[in-house]
Amino acid sequence: MRRLRNVKIVATLGPASNDYDMIRALFEAGADVFRLNMSHGDHAEIGERHKIIRQIERDTGRPIAILADLQGPKLRVGTFANGEEELTEGQSFRLDLDEAEGDSSRVRLPHREIFEALEPGAHLLVNDGKIKLRVKSCGKDHADCEVLVGGTISNRKGVNVPDVVLPLAALSEKDRKDLEFVCGLGVDWLALSFVQRAADVAEARALAKGRAAILSKIEKPAAVKSFEEILEVSDGIMVARGDLGVELPVQNVPPIQKRLVRKCRAAAKPVIVATQMLESMIESPMPTRAEVSDVATAIYEGADAVMLSAESAAGSYPIEAVTTMNNVALEVESDATYYNIIDASRGGDKKTIADAIVSAAREIAETTPITAICCYSQSGTTALLVARERPHVPIIAMTAVEATARRLCLSWGLHCAITEEVDRFKSAVVNAVRAAIAEGFAQPEDNIVVTAGVPFNQPGTTNILRVAPCEERLIFKTEPE
């Protein structure tokens, strides 16, 4: 099941991908990570999908990452007596805490925290930005607004508040229950919605207690402004372009995406580019040319992963969507300019022995006939550093920790292999050679680079690099050096 590309594919599961046969078909078509959307489906359904993924993992003998995406607080208006109303440009419209059903002049907004944060001049966006309001005056229980962009407003439409940092926690009561449930299942990543500040991530990490890595979704202007602080306390990032494109001018999103991807790479933390990548494939077996270019752009930028949402969860062509994404990745990564762009964007502070080791491993692999870099990694940190280098040869991440292998499935270029614990470097080299040959990355006449740390099985000890002739190492046993 060796992948012939470096970028990873995240596929969301849902009604269209809900049984063993379909989920396995998605995996075989190219999905590396499966996303469980906690906004849809009850715990029984989520638990069943998790169980199926782990069965496929056992049947194929390959680690698979599972990402649970928490819903986050949802800001919505109340209901209308007539079900909906038409707002016209220039009219006045009030949002308040009154429980009475709405009409053409007002509607309930059951979020006191919003009123406490609003100031005159702030904007509110309703129904994915289709309706735009400007606050003229406000109090602790109301906001009198002018309609800047009119349209139909109906029951429980979503509200975005782009201009202010809301005094809302990123985790609702539902999120806390969902977090505990999926951590109990054994998911590998938690995607945190509605992140505005680093403290939001710290709260989720405290609740997860090390049972899952934390991935922060960047979907609010406040998160963009505080990105460096959020990145520092996160294990990974998702550039969630849906709400980001609602709360910011759409033309701002592409440069933000490029900037965030580069910062994540410099920090050696995986980044997913998400939302509407192949949106038309929800209903069509063929994507638009613009969608293909969008996927290709994220790959050229060096994103660790690209994500399918409704395309694989609820669309009519989930397998075709994954196959298309896989084929785009193969074509882009075979382009002669791909590594020119990737190499030109290489960066990040290199201050440690591990930084020097992995940088040297890449240099050796690109200047001598090396077929793969094999890195031993207890916690996953060294493997992430190798991935940051974006070498031109495959990377085999070897670890005795199953949870580490699964989490690394999200990161660029890492082919994850679970190995037995070793306590001598010679044993590590032998195992690396055997894995490289078994997985199709090398032949007996080839050379590979092996990195590891002594003493073994301790995080953060990477201090050895060796060029290993495969043929020579295959005859070795595990006698002491």
CATH architecture for the domain at 353-474? 3-Layer(aba) Sandwich (3.40)
Q: Phi/psi class of residue 326: alpha, beta or left (left: φ > 0; alpha: ψ in -120 to 50)? A: alpha
pLDDT at 176: 97
Angle ∠(153,156,157) on CA atoms, nearest 5: 50
Whole-number pLDDT of residue 222: 93
Ranges 55-69, 141-155, 442-456: which has the least confidence: 442-456
- What pLDDT is recorded for position 160? 92
Which superfamily, per CATH, for 8-73+170-334?
Phosphoenolpyruvate-binding domains (3.20.20.60)
Q: What is the pLDDT of residue 480?
A: 44
Q: Residues 12-52: pLDDT tens digits?
A: 999 999 999 999 999 999 999 999 999 998 999 999 999 99
Pick 472 or 442 by higher pLDDT. 442
Q: Would residue 275 be called left, alpha or beta, if left means φ above 0 and alpha means ψ between -120 and 50 degrees?
A: left
What residues contact 334, with CB distance under 8 A and at least 6 apart? none
Condensed to tens digits (0 to 9), the pLDDT of residues 173-205 reads 999 999 999 999 999 999 999 999 999 999 999
Residues of the chain with CATH 3.40.1380.20: 353-474
Does the structure show a pLDDT above 70 at 251? Answer: yes
Model pLDDT, residue 128? 86
Q: What is the pLDDT of residues 122-135, one digit of tens each?
A: 999 999 899 999 99
Quick check: 457 pLDDT over 90? no
How does pLDDT run across 144-170, given as a tens digit for each residue?
A: 999 999 999 999 999 999 988 888 888
Mean pLDDT of 362-385: 95
What's the gap between Cα 402 and its chain centre? Answer: 20
User: In the prediction, which pLDDT does 350 show?
Assistant: 77
**How far apart are the C-alpha atoms of 386 and 278, rounded to whole Å?**
30
Task: Dig out the tokens for 206 from the structure.
Answer: 């405290």
Q: Which residue has the tokens 């990873």?
A: 8
Supply the pLDDT for residue 346.
87
399 Cβ contact list (under 8 Å, min separation 6)? 376, 377, 378, 380, 383, 405, 408, 416, 417, 418, 419
Counting beta carbons within 10 angstroms of the beta carbon of residue 327, is it exposed (0 to 12), middle (13 to 18) or buried (19 or more)?
A: middle
Convert the pLDDT of each residue in 302-317 to its tens digit: 999 999 999 999 999 9
Residue 366 is predicted with a pLDDT of 92
Quote the distance between the C-alpha of residue 225 and its chain's center.
19
CB 265, CB 384: distance < 8 Å:
no
- Report the pLDDT averaged over residues 449-465: 85
pLDDT of residue 479: 44
pLDDT average, residue stretch 68-94: 95
pLDDT band at 475 (very low <50, low <70, confident <90, very high): low
Percent of the chain's residues with pLDDT above 90: 87
pLDDT, the chain, mean: 94
The DSSP code for 401 is -
285 three-state secondary structure: coil
- CATH architecture observed for domain 84-160: Beta Barrel (2.40)
Residues of each domain in the chain carrying CATH 3.20.20.60: 8-73+170-334
Read off the pTM: 0.93
Query: Rounded mean pLDDT of 349-354?
Result: 84
DSSP-assigned states of every residue in 208-236? HTTSSEEEEEE-SHHHHHTHHHHHHH-SE
- Which tens digit of pLDDT belongs to each residue from 102-115? 999 999 999 998 99
Domain with CATH 2.40.33.10 in the chain: 84-160
List the catalytic residues.
35, 76, 217, 275
pLDDT number for residue 188 = 98
Report helix, strand or coil for 266.
helix
- pLDDT higher than threshold 70 for residue 393: yes
Instruction: State the pLDDT at residue 476.
Output: 53
